[in-house]
Structure formats: C-alpha cells, structure tokens
Amino acid sequence: MESRSSRRGRLACGLTGLAAVLLLPGCGVYSTSSGRLDESLRHVAVPFLENMSTEPGIEVELTDLIVQALQDDNTLKVTDEEHADTVLRGKVLRYGLQEVFIKPDADRLQVDEYQVQILVELSLIKRVSAEALFEKRRITGTGNFILDDPDGGGEAGARALAASEIVRDVLALIVEDW
C-alpha cells in the first residue's frame, strides 16, 4: 500500500519533469542577431554628416554618436568606405531653438522654456550597386531646457537629449527595420 506522501512526491516529481520538458526547448537556442539582417550587409561606413545648419560642430558630434551606437550594438561592423557593404550618408539640415513655455511678466511675455530641435536627413546605400536601402529619411530629435534652472543642463543638456533621440532612431532604422 502506497502512502499519501509517497504519491504526492511522485506527482510533484512528475509535474516538475513535465514542466522541464515543456519549458527547456525555448532555452536551447539563443542568438543575439535579430535574424532580419542581410548577411551580405554586415559592414557599414559612416562618413561625417554634412552640416547645413548654423550650429558649428553638430555634424561631428552626431556622427561620433551614431558610430559609437553602432559599435555598442555590435550587429554591424563600422569600417571605412573601401571595406564597407553599405554607406550611411547624411546631412544635419537644421539646429534650432523653439520657445515652449511663455508666461506674462509685467508688460511683456517671458520665455521660460526652450526646445532644441535637430533635423537630419539620411540615406543608406549599398556601396557596390549604389542601390538605396533607404533614401533621404528625415529624423528629428528634441530636448527641452528651462532658462536659469540651477539643476538643469541648459541648452547643452537639451542638445544631448535631442542627439540621443536621433541616434536611437538611426539605430532602429539601420539595425531593426531591415
């Protein structure tokens, strides 16, 4: 005669084994690749963006951030144009400040908050065939700052936020949307 505790033990053991059989196949294969990327397009060149804005140096800053993000992501290898499968070309079209929050102050209006707006236009081209994977795609990044905020980062902090939005969208466009 089998005791209750013995039956419970066998049942628990059986359920654990069943759970392991059902759950483990999902853990067997892991890949860091999305599987959507064309294997023949693993190397990308990123020449400096052209600066069409009035903000000096913004093209260098954005290019460096895009290259760093691609290297950190590690899906594509950043290389020179001669060895690249694709080339990411682009322009910084606009860098501007826009008033976001205006309040009345005595006889005039006072701007308390601004938004940095950066607009870029990018094309990803296959180097050998000159076929465009995407062309003249516009991406905007924004970041806000409050004037005279001792805890805020000012325009530089807002610019960094706008740049990080652009970099995030570029990475999504290049690595995830293929």
Cβ pair 45, 149 in contact under 8 A: no
DSSP string covering 37-75, please? Answer: S-GGG-EEE-PPPEE-SSSTTHHHHHHHHHHHHHHHH-S
**50-95, pLDDT tens digit by residue?**
999 999 999 999 999 999 999 999 999 999 999 999 999 999 999 9
Q: Which CATH class is domain 37-176?
A: alpha beta
pTM, to two decimals: 0.74
Contacts of 160 by beta carbon, 8 Å cutoff, 6+ apart: 143, 153
